[in-house]
């Protein structure tokens, strides 16, 4: 019996993991006070506080696997013999090939910075005809870009043969050909391109207190406050997967011809082929939590006659996500099951050609003794082909209670459940 087992596992660019290692910058407490200044004075306070995080995660994988296996116990000849029995009996030919590719994974768990701490702005107790102004700008920006590019080519060619046997031109005895089984199993799994991001704040809250009070008559008092928290996530995947599989399982094509004087029998084994191709590509998942709950207290009171008092407060929070996937499978799937002759190539994605044969046996021009007719008995010929393509999934927000595949230990991701490749949203 010939038995070949081929296993190939490829894992490249599999993890660009970004967790608590990128710490957020805390704003702390911001306090601005303009007070106790004399009449006719001009007083201005300008305060700008900003933080920025820009993260780029990129993976590129170019994988090519070429597998060619020939398991053969056939192609035997027993010809031109005289005076005895002629027997050809072959063993089984079994081939198993497994190709697994896993590539390109980005995982990021980031803080968006949360609230800008406690911010206090006061213009108080300034003299008459004074001009008092406080300008405060506090901004936080978080930008994350995750991208994957995968080009996977799998070429598998398998030949499992116990047939192609000849017993010809023999004289004086029985002639028999008995072949073993031929079995070929091919399993290809491609899992490429996933981006997972969780962005949120500690959400401990903060406060904004603005006060204009106790300023003299004819004073001009103005507070301008701008607080902004901006989060942007961009996730892109591009996958080009091509599987070219050719499988030939043969126990037939046996010849017992031009024999004289005995029984002639051909009995073939079974020919079985199993092919499974599973492609999973391009998943984006983003979980964006609220970064801040901010309370504001604004007080304008107790200022003198003819004073002009103004408060301008702008609070902004922007959460933006862009997700895109491209799966190149232009040619679709082409599956050919052939009893004799192979056809040409077809689709660019999964091109599968299977030949499972127990026939094409010849027993002719024999002069048989014992008044027995020549006998040909073939085994079963079977083929089982399964192709699965799952591609291009975007999930934004609550990812639900999905069942996750078994993952590496990622306890430092603050308890956020990540949806990794292997499970696809409907």
The reply to whether 51 falls in a domain is yes
The reply to whether 236 falls in a domain is yes
The reply to whether 44 falls in a domain is yes
Name the E strands within 206-262: 206-213, 220-250, 255-257
Alpha-carbon span 45 to 133, nearest angstrom: 6
pLDDT at 417: 28
The reply to whether 422 falls in a domain is no
pLDDT at 185: 92
Task: For residue 168, give Cα distances in angstroms to 90, 252, 255, 262, 344.
Answer: 17, 16, 7, 12, 34
Contact (CB, 8 A) for 113 and 51: yes
The reply to whether 287 falls in a domain is yes
b/e map of 98-123 (b: 16 or more CB within 10 Å)?
bbbbbbbbbbbbbbbbbbbbbbbbbb
The reply to whether 42 falls in a domain is yes
pLDDT at 315 over 90: no
What backbone phi and psi angles, to 5 degrees, belong to 189? -130, 125
b/e map of 233-253 (b: 16 or more CB within 10 Å)?
bbbbbbbbbbbbbbbbbbbbb
pLDDT at 348 over 50: yes
Q: Between 404 and 205, whose confidence is greater?
A: 205
pLDDT at 104 over 60: yes
Task: For residue 413, give Cα distances in angstroms to 1, 20, 282.
Answer: 52, 7, 22
Give residue 197's domain range.
Answer: 2-413
pLDDT at 1 over 70: no
The reply to whether 421 falls in a domain is no
Q: What is the mean pLDDT of residues 303-316?
A: 89
Contact (CB, 8 A) for 326 and 238: yes
pLDDT-based confidence at residue 44 (cuts at 50, 70, 90): very high
Q: What is the CA radius of gyration of the chain?
A: 38
Domain count, the chain: 1
Task: Tell me the CB-side half-sphere exposure of residue 38, using CA atoms within 13 A.
Answer: 0
Query: Euclidean distance between the first and final Cα of the chain, in Å?
Result: 46
The reply to whether 305 falls in a domain is yes
Burial class (CB in 10 A: 0-12, 13-18, 19+), 377: exposed
- 3-state class (DSSP) for residue 88: strand
pLDDT at 418 over 70: no
pLDDT-based confidence at residue 148 (cuts at 50, 70, 90): very high
pLDDT at 224 over 70: yes
Interval 189-205: pLDDT, tens: 999 999 988 877 655 66
């Amino acid at each position: 019996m010939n038995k070949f087992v081929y296993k190939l596992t490829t894992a490249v660019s599999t993890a660009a993991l970004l967790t608590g290692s990128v710490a957020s910058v805390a704003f702390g407490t911001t306090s601005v006070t303009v007070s106790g200044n004399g009449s006719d004075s001009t007083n201005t306070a300008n305060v700008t506080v900003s933080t920025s995080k820009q993260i780029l995660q990129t993976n590129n994988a170019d994988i090519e696997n070429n597998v060619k296996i020939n398991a053969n116990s056939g192609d035997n000849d027993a010809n031109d013999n005289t005076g005895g029995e002629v027997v050809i009996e072959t063993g089984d030919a079994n081939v198993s090939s497994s190709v697994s590719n896993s590539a390109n994974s980005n995982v990021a768990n980031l803080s968006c910075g949360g609230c800008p701490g406690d911010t206090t702005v006061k213009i108080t107790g300034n003299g008459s005809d004074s001009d008092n102004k406080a300008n405060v700008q506090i901004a936080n920006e978080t930008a994350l870009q995750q991208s994957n590019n995968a080009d996977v080519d799998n070429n598998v060619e398998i030949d499992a043969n116990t047939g192609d046997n000849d017993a010809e031109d023999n004289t004086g005895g029985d002639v028999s050909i008995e072949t073993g089984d031929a079995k070929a199993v091919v399993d290809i799994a491609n899992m490429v391109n996933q981006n997972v991001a969780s962005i949120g704040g500690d959400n401990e809250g903060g406060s904004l207190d603005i006060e204009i009070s106790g300023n003299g008559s004819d004073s001009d008092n103005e507070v301008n406050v701008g607080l902004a928290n901006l989060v942007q996530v961009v996730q892109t995947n591009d996958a080009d997967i091509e599987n070219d599989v050719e499988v030939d399982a043969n126990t037939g094509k046996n010849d017992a011809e031009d024999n004289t004087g005995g029984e002639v029998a051909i009995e073939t084994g079974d020919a079985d082929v199993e092919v499974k191709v599973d492609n999973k590509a391009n998943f984006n998942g983003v979980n964006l939590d609220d970064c801040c709950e901010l309370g504001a207290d604004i007080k304008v009171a107790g200022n003198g006659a003819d004073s002009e008092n103004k408060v301008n407060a702008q609070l902004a929070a922007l959460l933006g996500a862009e997700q895109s996937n491209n799966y190149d499978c232009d040619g679709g799937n082409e599956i050919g099951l052939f009893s004799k002759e192979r056809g040409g190539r077809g689709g660019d994605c999964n091109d599968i050609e299977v030949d499972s044969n127990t026939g094409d046996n010849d027993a002719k021009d024999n002069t048989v003794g014992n008044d027995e007719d020549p006998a040909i008995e073939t085994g079963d010929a079977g083929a089982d082909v399964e192709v699965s393509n799952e591609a291009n999934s975007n999930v934004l927000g609550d990812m639900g209670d999905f069942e996750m595949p078994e993952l590496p230990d990622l306890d430092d991701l603050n308890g956020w459940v990540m949806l990794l490749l292997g499970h696809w949203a409907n």
